[in-house]
Structure 1
């Protein structure tokens, strides 16, 4: 449903020509300006308010100092190609002035305090009133997983960085021009913002530019849904009750004036609509006794006792449950893939209620299927956030922690009651011992660094936890943050041994596992915000390299999601100078059973250059592969699970394998 600006005011005879040109530029390039504003605005507004605020920022870009519109923003912007260039050209000073005001207004939503250095315009001039839309929620059409991941990554950076990314990639400004514009818009460190935007964009600017131009970031073409119907119903009932109360009160006053005596009775408040089963009643919340986890065969979130300093705060719990059932229009709601953001069907289990990092946080467990995190700022009139994630069939490791608070660089976790020891380590420093992690009396950890979402991959923090001997003796395991409420369990399947049975995944805490994860940890970035439950590194083959005495590892990194579908990355780890040099991703397959217990065979191939400069096609398969053949521009075959054939670098090929006991398969990529 496209949103169009209201008719612009008619300029009088005394209007400046620059304002007329700016008005024409705004109308002509309205969609691109709104997209730039939407990108810059903080995602914490929620998509509905963010859409409306983007339109408001552009529609009010002509308000205020008219002279500034005809003069501001021209610095660093190419001049028109001729004196006859149309006023609506994106290269005119008029357009540049409108764009500057849009960026300045959009940045104001995240700036604190709410005034500009050196001047003090009214708050209305900085944060305009948004258009009024009643009964509907508006949000851009969803893009693909790449666009979704980019939007989540942008939520972790500051508004000037998002603005710089839009100016560089959407507006095609130079870095110097972008720095100049951001400085004029009030960014105190424009150079740092431009540098951070370059890190977010990475090396493939065209790909990021295409994503920013997708429907995910287009607030002019939106979808509509009804607003919170339950809350509207409550408001109508409350309004009716208030009206009846006023009528009765007025009648009572009239009777008192006439008769001098009498008593008026206020009607009872209208009953709130209830979810079946009393699921929104704080008094009905399920609470597990503290020692149950050590005396049950179901060691998951259902065994967590409620913790935190506000577990008896009925008002906080009531707000959290009501927001879950009918999220406020301005709430920020995130759902992991495959997770339904529907109201609870029965009273949920309370896991945590307390204060952390300037927020009141509540964690619920919904009947074995979901965990829900509700957070509201303390002492500020800001919208709440709701996060939903699936946790069905969780166990000792996948129910060991929940992210209770996050910043852009760190997270704090609520640990399961069965976690007896907690440490942290860096996967890119496999020889460095784990470091102790402080945990308070409620089971909340100190801040744990989060893996960087963009830029250079210089470290990969993980938590190494050990469960209590009361349930599993000395069971240590690794979990890491991939952007969801639940951290991801990391495991390892060793290289093939001499025995016939295939090896099973095991915990990735030993030297061999840590060495393998040091080569593949950075590939986990591609799995962020995708609802991953566990990731296993399967070293399915070891291959001698022709012309050398070295050997290479073939690794299948499999990510299993809570909703079921899996994704694999086949990686080739050739010998390297650095023990943390990233392995080469050979293939990427989604929605596949490969490299799981339901897909125990795999084969793949890669181009490889020897130290002497000769190019080869290398191929390798898992233990059941007895013959490999390559076809296409090069032909060759080999008995056994590995193959090496001399071939030019640009050779196209396909790999096929024959399995022991019959059957064939083709390359994973």
Structure 2
């Protein structure tokens, strides 16, 4: 919308960038939930700003990276030329009629709300385009990728098939904002921007890069974006041209295969830029190289006469900037700002932190006993005194390229932390119970072993949120109800609810692909049958702190609720009572809370 409503006197590139800027300024702050009412408000803001653009000169747009939209055809040029003959009010009317498929009366009402003095005249002016371009041709042109200003060599995840039109529009608007933010970051923070001979590589015949790029040492100290672009090349084989050339050849071969697979389905984009060398050296008995481009990391391995290249998506930023990268079992390449590493095994007790040897940026991680269904770590504490607040952060190696950030959120009455869950570290302000809780989960169905088979390098965050803690009935001792959330590299999630007591753990429910137990969805309720130490069955349910209504109906008696905890008495002895249990919970806003129940 913004792209088509902006004036035609802007150059195509500048109009695209300004459209991104308008959408970014219009997006609401805080959690962005794809609701229809938010979409209508967003549409109103975008149209208002595009009809009355301010600061369209190059002074505002100059620093932005020159994003290159897909090439327009002559037909596309004809449409934008016709739009250029219209006033801003008429262009706004055009997008409401053609992009939004809005009835004329509704479009007139929205134009009036936008301050258009004569909506009927604006609609007549928009309809004049039909005299030069048939409506069917216009619809076909608007549906083609070249007319979509959010497509700027930016590839996202597959959209959910059940998304409504407003949801899709919100997704497109958010994508436009991401492209704009990426442009700013790349323009100001990329270490190759003035790297001289270390800049982007020339390409060999056929569009393949013919050498690797290397970031200058200490680049991370000169930028505010602590991602893989700022990592220098490390390892004892960085000067071995034969080895690094072999890694580059494997990269080129893999990129060619990917291009051959996708060329019939999408524009493959410009020729591949030369990848960045992150590491080349020995890791155990193997020789390993790590290569990186804007979206991928490759691990090239030569071991006992065999070679292999594995491609992984680049992970999201962690509190310290980036995750260590796994070179081989027990060998992790640390971010350059990490000054020391400690380790501790998840054994169910207090953490016993031991220093880890780090040489040339590679940490030699001690092995821990391995048993079926368990993931005991080790947990690593990474010291980063010169970064941000200087707090260490904790990770667990789950066997993939990336390690998972290990976190803990305590139950009420502990306050909700504005900066998010606690790191499970040894800092003075740490919560020691968080580490012990993860030790109790290590060999449970909700433990890290539940997601280690999801895919290499896919688990980026593991958070245990203890949303209720208290005394269990009938002499059951202390209970802890925990929501364990795993954030995956593809944007998905796996979430488990577990009731822990002195005798073990009960998995009480699981969900996938939701916001549950995150900062975007802090409400949760879970229920389960539970047998007390005296042999009586109880139906128990607990909810997080925002609950105002908690109720259950089923084959039990005397349900009672106190401080977000429901207890209902069942029979004594025997097997778990049969029959369906209906569990309900509402929060302060009288919205249903997500239910975890088996």
User: TM tier, shorter chain?
Assistant: 0.5 to 0.7
Contact map agreement 1:556 1:570 (CA 8 A) in 2:
yes
Residue number among 600, 623, 629 corresponding to 2:545 in the alignment: 623
Q: Deviations over 1:343-375 (max 9, x none)?
A: 9831121100112223221101211x2211111
- Secondary structure, counterpart of 1:664 in structure 2: coil
- Secondary structure, counterpart of 1:516 in structure 2: helix
- Is 1:656 the counterpart of 2:577 in the alignment? no
Q: Give 2:107's aligned residue.
A: none
Q: Give 2:63's aligned residue.
A: none
Contact map agreement 1:325 1:342 (CA 8 A) in 2:
no
Residue number among 482, 498, 516 corresponding to 2:437 in the alignment: 516
Residue number among 441, 446, 451 corresponding to 2:364 in the alignment: 446
Q: Give 1:465's aligned residue.
A: 382
The structure-2 alpha-carbon separation of the partners of 1:343 and 1:617, relative to structure 1 and needing over 3 Å to count, comes to farther
Q: Give 2:515's aligned residue.
A: 593
Q: Give 2:210's aligned residue.
A: 281
Residue number among 398, 408, 419 corresponding to 2:338 in the alignment: 419
**Structure 2: gaps spanning 5 or more residues:** 1-202, 257-267
CA distance in 2, matches of 1:317, 1:295: 27
The structure-2 alpha-carbon separation of the partners of 1:659 and 1:607, relative to structure 1 and needing over 3 Å to count, comes to same
- Is 1:375 the counterpart of 2:375 in the alignment? no
- Secondary structure, counterpart of 2:245 in structure 1: helix
Q: Give 1:584's aligned residue.
A: 506
Residue number among 355, 364, 367 corresponding to 2:291 in the alignment: 364
Contact map agreement 1:398 1:487 (CA 8 A) in 2:
no
Q: Give 1:314's aligned residue.
A: 241
Contact map agreement 2:376 2:439 (CA 8 A) in 1:
no
Asked which structure has the greater RCO (Cα within 8 Å, sep 6+), the reply is 1
The structure-2 alpha-carbon separation of the partners of 1:526 and 1:554, relative to structure 1 and needing over 3 Å to count, comes to same
- Is 1:533 the counterpart of 2:455 in the alignment? no
Kindly state the Cα deviation for residue 632 of structure 1 after the two structures are TM-superposed.
3.6
Q: Give 1:488's aligned residue.
A: 404
Contact map agreement 2:318 2:405 (CA 8 A) in 1:
no
CA distance in 2, matches of 1:620, 1:396: 31
Kindly state the Cα deviation for residue 667 of structure 1 after the two structures are TM-superposed.
1.9
- Over aligned residues, Cα RMSD in angstroms? 2.9
Kindly state the Cα deviation for residue 427 of structure 1 after the two structures are TM-superposed.
1.5
Between 1:352-361 and 1:470-479, the stretch displaced more is 470-479
- Is 1:393 the counterpart of 2:320 in the alignment? no
Residue number among 542, 547, 556 corresponding to 2:474 in the alignment: 547
Kindly state the Cα deviation for residue 591 of structure 1 after the two structures are TM-superposed.
1.0
The structure-2 alpha-carbon separation of the partners of 1:345 and 1:503, relative to structure 1 and needing over 3 Å to count, comes to closer
**Structure 1: gaps spanning 5 or more residues:** 1-270, 330-340
Q: Give 2:160's aligned residue.
A: none
Q: Deviations over 1:10-40 (max 9, x none)?
A: xxxxxxxxxxxxxxxxxxxxxxxxxxxxxxx
5 Å-filtered alignment, 1:30-109, equals none
Contact map agreement 1:540 1:622 (CA 8 A) in 2:
yes
Q: Deviations over 1:124-178 (max 9, x none)?
A: xxxxxxxxxxxxxxxxxxxxxxxxxxxxxxxxxxxxxxxxxxxxxxxxxxxxxxx
Q: Give 1:665's aligned residue.
A: 593
Q: Give 1:435's aligned residue.
A: 354
Question: With structure 2 as the length reference, what TM-score do the two structures score?
Answer: 0.57
Contact map agreement 1:626 1:640 (CA 8 A) in 2:
no
Kindly state the Cα deviation for residue 389 of structure 1 after the two structures are TM-superposed.
2.1
- Is 1:611 the counterpart of 2:533 in the alignment? yes
Q: Deviations over 1:423-464 (max 9, x none)?
A: 110121532421111111x11122432673x52648432212
Contact map agreement 1:589 1:668 (CA 8 A) in 2:
yes
Contact map agreement 1:628 1:638 (CA 8 A) in 2:
yes
The structure-2 alpha-carbon separation of the partners of 1:398 and 1:481, relative to structure 1 and needing over 3 Å to count, comes to farther
5 Å-filtered alignment, 1:338-353, equals 345-353=272-280
Residue number among 635, 643, 646 corresponding to 2:569 in the alignment: 646
Structure with the greater alpha carbon radius of gyration:
1
- Is 1:455 the counterpart of 2:372 in the alignment? yes
- Secondary structure, counterpart of 1:445 in structure 2: strand
Contact map agreement 1:344 1:366 (CA 8 A) in 2:
no
The structure-2 alpha-carbon separation of the partners of 1:399 and 1:448, relative to structure 1 and needing over 3 Å to count, comes to farther
Kindly state the Cα deviation for residue 637 of structure 1 after the two structures are TM-superposed.
5.6
The structure-2 alpha-carbon separation of the partners of 1:629 and 1:458, relative to structure 1 and needing over 3 Å to count, comes to same
The structure-2 alpha-carbon separation of the partners of 1:520 and 1:549, relative to structure 1 and needing over 3 Å to count, comes to closer
Contact map agreement 1:362 1:375 (CA 8 A) in 2:
yes
Kindly state the Cα deviation for residue 466 of structure 1 after the two structures are TM-superposed.
1.1
The structure-2 alpha-carbon separation of the partners of 1:342 and 1:594, relative to structure 1 and needing over 3 Å to count, comes to farther
- Is 1:304 the counterpart of 2:231 in the alignment? yes
- Secondary structure, counterpart of 2:411 in structure 1: coil
CA distance in 1, matches of 2:415, 2:335: 37
CA distance in 2, matches of 1:328, 1:500: 45
The structure-2 alpha-carbon separation of the partners of 1:667 and 1:400, relative to structure 1 and needing over 3 Å to count, comes to closer
The structure-2 alpha-carbon separation of the partners of 1:449 and 1:274, relative to structure 1 and needing over 3 Å to count, comes to farther
- Secondary structure, counterpart of 2:363 in structure 1: coil
- Secondary structure, counterpart of 2:364 in structure 1: coil
The structure-2 alpha-carbon separation of the partners of 1:503 and 1:512, relative to structure 1 and needing over 3 Å to count, comes to farther
Kindly state the Cα deviation for residue 557 of structure 1 after the two structures are TM-superposed.
0.5
The structure-2 alpha-carbon separation of the partners of 1:396 and 1:639, relative to structure 1 and needing over 3 Å to count, comes to closer
The structure-2 alpha-carbon separation of the partners of 1:465 and 1:537, relative to structure 1 and needing over 3 Å to count, comes to same
Question: With structure 1 as the length reference, what TM-score do the two structures score?
Answer: 0.51
The structure-2 alpha-carbon separation of the partners of 1:355 and 1:343, relative to structure 1 and needing over 3 Å to count, comes to farther
Equivalent residue pairs, number: 368
